[in-house]
Amino acid sequence: MKFGKFISGTKKFQGVVVDQLIKEIEGDIFGEWEYTGQSFSLKEVKCLSPLEPNNIIGIGANYVSEIEDLPSVPPKMPVFFFKPTSSVIGHEESIVIPHGIEKIKFESELAVVIGKETKNVSEESALDYIFGYTIGNDVTAPQFFHEDGHWTIGKSFDTFTPLGPFIETDLVPSKVKIEARLNDVEKQNSSTELMIVSIQKMISFLSKVMTLKPGDVILTGSPIGAEMVGEGDFIECEIKEIGILTNRFVTTKEAVEVN
Ligand code: MG
């Protein structure tokens, strides 16, 4: 099932997408919800981010290339980082390049949406806590990585986390392809089989540190091929089973210095 959030005129609503039709729903997608009986054509609405995440957690350097072998022993402590929820935008919204720099990086990723409270779970049961999957673009300004290795600032600018267009609940995450096209040219196209730390491991590890909650989003890492882009560039992040998340890069209108 595909869940999304939309706006038509001034009406914001959530719905279930069936082909080109959105069936409006009311309620909490993680709990009780029901159809209202109203439908919209996908063509007549604008997609919003399919959820307002509770927390956003990313993982760094989590893919090998097609010609590399997966490490025989996965890292004991993966590199996780947080992104602020204020960085979330939806499909077709603009990604704003911060003042003072010309290029930032796109990263097309499979994004896990947690569906229930998750604490101290095993790898074997970890997938049971997932509500669904969406596409995330983990936009990054490496110029703002701290020399001591902290990534937070470079990951945190407004508009740096496009999500969408939908949350797909029926997906087998182990074998989907993560694609990205920059100005119609393919840049990323890797199977999730090339992930170093599996989704099960990520959830189990994180759940031993923090209680994961419905609406938490885990960005599961970017396949090889992400690169720096500039004003006017157009990025399409695609996972066939979910959809295509497209955004354009623009520069800021107002000059805001970050010192
Ligand atoms: Mg990333």
- Cα of 23 vs centre of ligand 1, distance in Å, is 32
Among the residue ranges 6-10, 71-75, 108-112, 149-153, the one predicted with the least confidence is 71-75
Angle, CA of 162, 39 and 29, to the nearest 5°: 50
- Cα of 24 vs centre of ligand 1, distance in Å, is 32
Q: What single letter denotes the amino acid at residue 20?
A: Q
- Cα of 248 vs centre of ligand 1, distance in Å, is 18
- Cα of 88 vs centre of ligand 1, distance in Å, is 14
pLDDT (tens digit per residue) in 48-97: 999 999 999 999 989 888 888 888 777 888 899 999 999 999 999 999 99
Cα–Cα distance, 230 to 144 (Å, whole number)? 16
How is residue 140 written in tokens? 């990054």
- Cα of 107 vs centre of ligand 1, distance in Å, is 6
- Cα of 60 vs centre of ligand 1, distance in Å, is 6
- Cα of 82 vs centre of ligand 1, distance in Å, is 11
pTM (2 d.p.): 0.95
Cα–Cα distance, 85 to 129 (Å, whole number)? 21
pLDDT above 80 for 258 = no
- Cα of 184 vs centre of ligand 1, distance in Å, is 21
pLDDT (tens digit per residue) in 140-178: 999 999 888 889 999 999 999 999 999 999 999 998 999
More confident residue, 256 or 96: 96
- Cα of 61 vs centre of ligand 1, distance in Å, is 7
- Cα of 137 vs centre of ligand 1, distance in Å, is 8
How is residue 8 written in tokens? 């038509």
In 3-state terms, what secondary structure has residue 34? strand
- Cα of 80 vs centre of ligand 1, distance in Å, is 10
- Cα of 219 vs centre of ligand 1, distance in Å, is 7
pLDDT (tens digit per residue) in 228-251: 999 999 999 999 999 999 999 999
- Cα of 6 vs centre of ligand 1, distance in Å, is 26
The residue written with tokens 């209680």 in the block is: 211
Cα dihedral sign for 19, 22, 27, 28?
Answer: positive
- Cα of 135 vs centre of ligand 1, distance in Å, is 12
Structural domains in the chain, sorted by start? 1-48 (2.30.30.370), 51-251 (3.90.850.10)
How is residue 24 written in tokens? 């409006």
- Cα of 35 vs centre of ligand 1, distance in Å, is 35
SS3 annotation, 177-205: EEEEEECCEEEEEEEHHHECCCHHHHHHH
- Cα of 253 vs centre of ligand 1, distance in Å, is 26
